[in-house]
Chains A and B, each alone.
Chain A
Amino acid sequence: MKTTSSRTSSLTPPLPPPINTPDSLKEHLQTALMIEHSTIPPYLCALYSIPNGENVTASTLIRSVVMEEMLHMVLVANLLNAINCPPKVKDPKFIPTYPAYLPHSDKKFVVQLLPFGTDAIETFLKIEMPAPLGAPPQSGDFRTIAQFYAAIRQGFEYLCAQPGGEKKLFVGSASKQIDGSSWYYGGGGAPFAVDSLKTALEAIAEITEQGEGYDHTLYDGDNRFGQVDELAHFFRFNEIRAGRRYQATDTPNGYPTGAALVVDWSARFPMAPNPKVSEYADRPEIHQLMMEFNRTYTKLLGSLDTAFNGTPSELLKAVPLMYDLKYRAQTLMAIPSGRGDGTTVGPSFEYAP
């Protein structure tokens, strides 16, 4: 367990970390929920722009990342519920307006809704960038997501170090926790209940390691939990960019040197970047299909909101909505945008109650 990694040790008496009150922790966890979610529409656009049967390995890799991002959302919701803060998902402000910066990031790059392509993969690499060795925790204007989570981890550790702190902090209802029984994606692990500092730190570790790798390796360290070690997200995307698989002798600092991974960058629907329903106001047929997509998407968020707020079994009902969303997205991907540049429409991921 890396709860006492070098990054949190200190030689001088510690100052309170930036996150040092339960309210601040709640606020930052809600931000974490937004961050996790904000990566999903861009990943889904890349994934659904790949026609069925094309770029099979690349789409399998992207899909596996998306599923783990959803797992991360569930884990963050568990963290919030553990400290008795209702996770908010169904909210217009919850959805970024793309192009957007990652919430509370240092705004060094924008995240966009793009089709599968080098631009999209480059952005994904930035999103999943591992924290440099020795990089400090950052509770705001963060460089990497891992540093933001490091600050949250510090907050948990600090609050629990106060007298009676752990007991006072973990007061959430156990019935709101989502565990493996409502979740069935076999890969990448299953959610688990958070009810203590130990489980909270495990949840944070699971999230950051699946993204950037365990302890500065290529892998997510899941074998410690009785699962198969998988490449962390950053390295999965790096495989797609390099067109090569990693092999055992490769290191995080180098390039993958294993078997070729065949990527056909042209085998995709060229959706116009960052589509908006408003752009198709004069094209009622397209407008309607986009609205139907957005209504499904909003319904899905509502379903997650319900699942996160006391009805974990609702997560099972979200599955049909996720599939429905996929088929609607694929339909939009194939429709010419009418811009005369060969682009297609694509899904816009806008709030539509």
Chain B
Amino acid sequence: MSVSQSPSGNYDAIIVGGGPVGAHVAKELVAKNKRVLMLEAGRAGGLTYQGYRSYVDTYYTRVIKDTNSPYPYNPSAPSPNDTDIVKIVKGTPDLIGYQVEMGPEAFGSTYLRQLGGTSLHWLGTTPRFCPNDFKLKTKYGRGVDWPLTYDELEPYYGQAEWSMGVSANKGDQEMHGIKFPRGYDYPMERIPMSYSDQVIGKAVKGKTVNFSGKDYPVQVSSLAQARNSIPRKGYTPVGAVGNPDVGQRCEGNGACIPICPVQAKYSALKTIAALLESPYFTLLAQAVVTKVTLGANGRVNGVEYVRYETEGLGPNATFTATATIYVLAGHAVENAKLLLASNVANKYNKEVGRNLMDHPFSYTWALAPQSMGSFRGPIQTSGIETLRDGDFRKDFAAFRTDVGNAGWDIVNYPPNGDVTEALGKNVFGKKLRSQLANTLPRQVRIGYDVEQLPEWKNCVEIDPTYKDALGCYRPIIKYDVSDYSWQAMVEAMKVSKVVFDALGIPTKDQHFHGRIAGVADSKHYTSPDGKRHPLNFIGAGHHIGTHRMGFTKSDSVVNSDQQSWDHDNLYVVGCGSMPTTGTANPTLTAVALALRSTKAMLGQLR
């Protein structure tokens, strides 16, 4: 094992980025005795149990407990933060923080540059994509098709689920043509559905919504989740890094985002910690790759990286590392940024950085007449999955419905808002206590991960005007949401209406848009018929596109092996390779794609 200071010698592969995708590429290559160097821009503090616990303590003391709040601020490898995201005023870029946002819509998603990557703060939801997600163009005349099918990816889904430790029951996941091989099941039993899931599930039983003239059931089902549960035969749950007795089961800490304090939720730290046992694996943290360099033959012949000692201060030093193959696994935005900065992978087209997508996450909320037991358990344990596919996708986007367990979490950041608001109205003492007890557990929030189509104008760009403390480019984001997704957000409210009505919630306590305590910010959509639809949405943190895979070298950056069309020893992996978003939280699929790509990599390294 080695956490190297200055690596020497030749590597079979250099992997840029220590997140779940890079970690799984490394895992497969190291398993075949290939020498792997992983370059991670952030720090590796989470590899010790105490280091990870220090993140938890940091989270406790942060005033704003947003997605990156537990993790140390790092000006030498900055990350976008929720607090940097503001409403874009036309013509004025949002320069706050790391990301430069040009609009017209704010790109409301964050990621984390730190060993473990965004899997440190991800929710851990791991549904598979639906078969039709891979052929959107053929099936519904929208977007593009993927250069591979569900069936081709299927074995790697299973491998990813066992490697990450996904808890689910196969029967719950068999829908929209999602199939499992005979004899397969997830490594752990499904995470128990929360009390509120059960109440909502019962209430909506038999209810439907009508989309494009067809009825679809509104049905609550258990979600596949990469957090530890009761193991099935042949699987041993992986606990906390450095303290494996901890985190053997999800303990209901209710803080999946931004940090699972017991590490019952999968993070790439687990995979990387295991890799560090191997002599074939070398990890170099605090190493920011700045350039991919090409040889005269057009193949990649090295990566340049800057090592910093102290965040924002240096001293910094520049190095070059070489290997047979190069794998960029730094995140959709960072991969695109690095390709653009290196002026590579653009021989046949200008697709690099283009087609940036997310799942716009629209949300609605209500106050149930009875306690829903909110603020207990993992942030999400169930969803309404029935609208992830259907003929309506010819007209508007599909979506995955998030039935939250944490009250009005993203609406008004409870309970702080509730407490200060009550105190401001001179509510105190026993009245304060009972007012909180009688309202917060009744909070319900239904959200929608809405599919988005690839669009050229939505992109990551770079400009020498905008650089970070280390002199690296800051990503410039141009982002908009098209009618296809807006309409779905409007249609999705029908689902909320069904749920809220089924729960017996009076209309005055049902909220489909608006401002609460000055936090939630309402947007609006004007439909082709001129009607104005106010609604709220933020980003889902699902950066997709930017180096998409395709059928030919003219339509895409990489092929179905995530291999660059231009440079045969360069692989660009992760959610950036996905041609469309589907409705599933993308990490599982990104890991499955990466596992599949390692076959091609190993073929090249033979």
- A–B contact with Cβ pairs below 8 Å: the answer is yes
In the complex, A187→B248 CA distance in Å?
Answer: 10
**B513 contacts A by Cβ under 8 Å:** no
Q: Are A185 and B230 in contact (CB under 8 A)?
A: no
Q: Separation in Å of the B228 CB from the closest CB of chain A?
A: 9
With an 8 A cutoff between CB atoms, is B239 at the interface?
Answer: yes
CB distance from B232 to the nearest CB of A (A): 10
The answer, among B230, B244, B245, B248, for a CB contact under 8 Å with A181, is B230
Is B249 part of the contact surface with A, judged by Cβ < 8 Å? Answer: yes
User: Contact flags (1/0) for A281-294 with B, using CB distance below 8 Å?
Assistant: 00000000000000
Contacts of A186 in B (CB 8 A): 239, 244-246, 248
Minimum CB–CB distance for A139 against chain B, Å = 35
Q: Which residue of A has the minimal Cβ distance to B230? A: A181
Which A278-332 residues have C-beta < 8 A from chain B?
A: 323
Indicate the member of A181, A186, A187, A323 with the most B CB atoms within 10 Å: A186
Bound CA span A234–B246, Å: 23
**Chain B, residue nearest A320 (CB):** B252
CB contact list, B215-242 vs A, under 8 A: 230, 237, 239
B240: nearest chain-A partner, CB-CB: A186
In the complex, whether A184 has a CB less than 8 A from a CB of chain B is yes
In angstroms, Cα B248 to Cα A186, docked, is 7
How many positions in chain A have a CB within 8 Å of any CB in the partner chain?
6
Q: Which chain A residues border B249 with CB–CB below 8 Å?
A: 184
Which residues of chain A are within 8 angstroms of B246 by Cβ–Cβ distance?
A: 186
Most-contacted residue by chain A among B230, B244, B245, B246 (CB, 10 A): B245
What is the chain B residue whose CB lies nearest that of A180? B231
* Interfacial chain A residues near B230, Cβ < 8 Å: 181, 184
Docked CA distance A323–B244 (Å) = 19
A323 to B251, CA, bound (A): 10
- Point out the residues of chain B lying under 8 angstroms from A184, CB to CB: 230, 237, 248-249
A37 to B182, CA, bound (A): 46
Residues on A with C-beta less than 8 A from B251 are: 323
Q: How far is the CB of B26 from chain A (nearest CB, A)?
A: 25
> Measured between alpha carbons, how far is A278 from B249 in the docked complex, in Å?
39
Bitwise, A176-203 to B at CB < 8 A (1) or not (0) is 0000010011110000000000000000
Interface positions of B from 415 to 451, Cβ below 8 Å from A: none
In angstroms, Cα B247 to Cα A186, docked, is 9
- Chain A residues, Cβ within 8 Å of B239: 186
Chain A positions 120 through 155: 1 when the CB is less than 8 Å from some CB of chain B, otherwise 0: 000000000000000000000000000000000000
The residues of A that contact B248 with a CB separation of less than 8 Å are: 184-186
CA distance A181 to B237 in the complex (A): 12
Provide the bound-state CA to CA distance between A72 and B77, in Å: 50
Q: Give Cα A187–Cα B249 distance, bound, in whole angstroms.
A: 13
Bound Cα distance A152, B249 (Å): 35
Bound form: Cα–Cα A185–B246 in Å:
8
Nearest-neighbour CB distance to chain A for B239, whole angstroms, equals 6
Bound complex: CA A323 to CA B249 (Å): 14
* B191 CB, nearest partner CB in chain A, Å: 13
Q: Chain B's nearest CB lies how many Å from the CB of A69?
A: 15
Enumerate chain B residues within 8 angstroms of A185, measured Cβ to Cβ. 245, 248
Complex: A133 Cα to B274 Cα, angstroms: 42
- The smallest C-beta distance from A38 to any residue of chain B, in angstroms, reads 25
Task: Provide the residues of chain A in CB contact with B237, threshold 8 Å.
Answer: 184
How far in angstroms is the closest Cβ of chain B from A94? 28
Instruction: Give CA–CA (A28, B39) in the complex, Å.
Output: 61
Once bound together, how far apart are the Cα atoms of A187 and B230, in whole Å?
16
A177 vs B209: C-alpha distance when bound (angstroms): 48
Residues of B within 8 A of A181 (CB): 230
Across-interface contacts of A323 in B (CB, < 8 A): 251
Q: Kindly state the separation between the CA atoms of A185 and B251 in the bound complex, as whole angstroms.
A: 12
Query: For residue B236, which residue of chain A has the nearest CB?
Result: A186
Closest to A56 in B: B50
**Contact residues of B between 245 and 266, Cβ < 8 Å to A:** 245-246, 248-249, 251
Which A-chain residue is minimally distant from B192 (CB atoms)?
Answer: A316
Q: Which residues of A contact B245 (CB under 8 A)?
A: 185-187
**Closest chain B residue, CB of each to CB of A185:** B245
- Select the residue from A181, A184, A187, A323 with max chain B CB neighbours within 10 A: A184
Output the least CB separation between B247 and chain A (Å).
8
- List chain A residues, Cβ under 8 A from B244: 186
Residue of B nearest to A60 (CB): B243
Distance in angstroms between the alpha carbons of A185 and B228 in the assembled complex:
13
Complex CA–CA separation, A290 to B583 (angstroms) = 50
CA distance A184 to B245 in the complex (A): 9
Measured between alpha carbons, how far is A116 from B119 in the docked complex, in Å? Answer: 39
Q: How far is the CA of A185 from the CA of B262 in the complex (A)?
A: 13
In the complex, which residues 396-423 of chain B have their Cβ closer than 8 Å to any Cβ of chain A? none
Q: Give CA–CA (A245, B238) in the complex, Å.
A: 27
As a 0/1 sequence over residues 65 to 83 of chain B, the CB contacts with chain A under 8 angstroms (1 = contact) are 0000000000000000000
Q: Give the complex CA separation of A184 and B236 in angstroms.
A: 11
Given contact pairs A184-B237, A185-B245, A186-B239, a sample of 11 additional A-B residue pairs in the complex whose CB atoms are under 8 Å apart: A181-B230, A184-B230, A184-B248, A184-B249, A185-B248, A186-B244, A186-B245, A186-B246, A186-B248, A187-B245, A323-B251
Query: Can you list 14 residue pairs at the A/B interface with Cβ under 8 Å?
Result: A181-B230, A184-B230, A184-B237, A184-B248, A184-B249, A185-B245, A185-B248, A186-B239, A186-B244, A186-B245, A186-B246, A186-B248, A187-B245, A323-B251
Closest 8 A/B residue pairs (Cβ)? A186-B245, A187-B245, A184-B248, A186-B248, A184-B249, A186-B239, A186-B244, A185-B245
